[in-house]
């Protein structure tokens, strides 16, 4: 097996990342990205399957005679956000950008594939899963429904996500709940609009909508146990009114976060009760549509220990120059963002890890950019996980 020049690999990953950043594609539209990924994997000598779950790609690499398989996952999709960056590789697709670092995630997993294909150091099979449509919360389900586990079986799965504010070269994770479920809701209020000068003559919905927005805030503060984590956020209020016409329709949209199905069910139940009661008080009608988009992400305790040990092993290398004891830690709290990596964990145990991206703009911000200094850390982390879980001999 040939030993790779690490700095040359870093430069190569940077070129890949800039190319992907300049050509972002929305969920289930990642045609160019998938073609790019598949070509690189074949170049490294992997078996490649395309079109899994729409635009997903799976690369397979086997070494030795081991019969175990481990999966590594990266997401490929971009967001409908207009980039404000000025880098020469900024998005060339108006209104779409890699504002969450999936270009970096894809490049790091490609780097790991090249590293493991060249150097080996494991006994068994690695599945490199390049997933579409994570931001929708639909890509993992699409790949699973397309027979991912039956066609490319594996016993456990690992993923990572960059984290602005965490120093480059630092890793953290935790066992148990890591990221929350996400539920979406829409409440439609229907009444009878009319002239702004004659509110008594109709059943306008604006005041009812404003009251309902406030009343929904009591779900977490007064309806849930203080021991449970829950978030209810109203994000949009849309009406058909205008300057001198009171609305006869109002739509209230938002999302909810929780870590237990019982809490999600309680939020929906209380939201329905509050919506119907508020509507009755203001003499309008209410209809609630409540959907569950993401499930909670629950890490396996043993695999968290293994992933953090792999991170420490990577950082213990003198060439990295970071003290592993300071840079690898157990996260103190779960976070109320969501990730559809959780769908894989409904089927096999796994671990999701956060990796430092340094002092960059926040995720989903038009000024965000993945930090290229993190690329080699991520690729080496992926490879170290495989070598621990599929140890030779």
Question: What pLDDT shows up at residue 2?
Answer: 77
Write out pLDDT tens, residues 40-54: 999 999 999 999 999
Query: What is residue 326's three-state secondary structure?
Result: helix
Question: Would you tell me which CATH number, out of the four given (3.40.50.10190, 3.40.630.10, 3.40.718.10, 3.30.450.20), belongs to the domain 6-177+296-389?
Answer: 3.40.630.10
Task: Choose the weakest-confidence range: 42-46, 96-100, 312-316.
Answer: 312-316
Q: Strand 56-63 to strand 47-52: parallel, antiparallel, or no bridges (unpaired)?
A: antiparallel
In 3D space, the residue among 264, 297, 298, 274 whose CA is nearest the CA of residue 183 turns out to be 264
Is the separation of the CB atoms in 313 and 121 below 8 Å?
no
Q: Average of pLDDT values for 136-158?
A: 97
Q: What is the pLDDT averaged over residues 359-373?
A: 97
Q: Is the pLDDT of residue 57 over 70?
A: yes
Domain ranges of the chain: 6-177+296-389, 181-294
- Look up the pTM and report it: 0.92
Let me know: does 22 contact 11? Beta carbons within 8 Å. no
User: Rounded mean pLDDT of 133-155?
Assistant: 97
Single out the residue of 39, 42, 36 nearest to residue 24, CA to CA. 36
Mean pLDDT of the chain: 96
Question: CA 266 to CA 44: how far, in whole Å?
Answer: 50
pLDDT at 326: 77
What is the third-level CATH fold of 181-294?
A: Alpha-Beta Plaits (3.30.70)
The pLDDT of residue 393: 66
Q: Check residue 316 and give its pLDDT.
A: 77
pLDDT score, position 319: 46
**Quick one: pLDDT at residue 318?**
46
Percent of the chain with pLDDT over 90: 94
Average pLDDT over residues 253-265: 97
Apex 201 CA angle, 199 and 206, nearest 5? 35
Banded model confidence at residue 315, pLDDT cuts 50, 70, 90: confident
Mean pLDDT calculated for residue range 297-302: 98
Q: What is the secondary structure of 70-107 as a DSSP string?
A: EEEEEE---BS-------TT--SSTT-B--SSHHHHHH
For residues 21 and 379, give the distance between their C-alpha atoms in angstroms, rounded to a whole number: 18
């Amino acid at each position: 097996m040939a030993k790779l020049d690490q700095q040359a690999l870093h430069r190569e990953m940077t070129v890949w990342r800039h190319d992907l950043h300049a050509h972002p594609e929305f969920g289930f539209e990642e045609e160019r990205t998938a073609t790019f990924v598949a070509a690189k994997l074949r170049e490294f000598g992997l078996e490649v399957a395309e079109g899994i779950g729409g635009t997903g790609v799976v690369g397979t690499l086997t070494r030795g005679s081991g019969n175990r398989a481990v999966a590594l996952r990266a997401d490929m999709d971009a967001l409908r956000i207009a980039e404000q960056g000025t880098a020469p590789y900024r998005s060339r697709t108006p209104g779409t950008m890699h504002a969450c670092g999936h270009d970096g995630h894809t490049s790091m997993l490609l780097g790991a594939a090249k590293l493991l294909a060249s150097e080996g150091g494991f006994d068994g099979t690695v599945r490199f899963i390049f997933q579409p449509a994570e931001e929708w919360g639909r890509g993992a389900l699409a790949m699973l429904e397309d027979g991912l586990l039956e066609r490319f079986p594996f016993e456990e799965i690992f993923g990572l996500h960059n984290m602005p504010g965490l120093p480059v070269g630092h890793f953290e994770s935790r066992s148990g709940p890591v990221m929350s479920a996400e539920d979406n809701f829409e409440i439609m209020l229907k009444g009878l609009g009319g002239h702004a000068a004659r509110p008594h003559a109709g059943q306008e919905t604006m005041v009812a909508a404003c009251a309902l927005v406030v009343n929904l805030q009591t779900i977490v503060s007064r309806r849930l146990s203080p021991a449970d984590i829950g978030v209810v956020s109203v994000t949009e209020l849309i009406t058909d009114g205008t300057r001198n016409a009171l609305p006869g329709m109002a739509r209230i949209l938002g999302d909810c976060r929780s870590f237990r199905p019982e809490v999600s069910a309680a939020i929906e139940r209380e939201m329905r009760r509050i919506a119907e009661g508020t509507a009755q008080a203001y003499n309008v009608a209410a209809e609630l549509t409540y959907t569950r988009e993401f499930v909670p992400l629950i890490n396996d305790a043993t695999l968290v220990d293994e992933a953090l040990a792999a991170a420490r092993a990577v950082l213990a290398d003198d060439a990295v120059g970071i003290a592993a004891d300071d840079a690898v830690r157990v996260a103190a709290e779960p976070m109320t963002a969501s990730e559809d990596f959780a769908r894989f964990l409904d089927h096999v145990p796994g671990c999701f890890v956060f990796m430092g991206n340094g002092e960059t703009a926040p995720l989903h911000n038009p000024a965000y950019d993945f930090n290229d200094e993190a690329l080699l850390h991520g690729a080496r982390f992926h490879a170290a996980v495989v070598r621990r879980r599929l140890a030779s001999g």
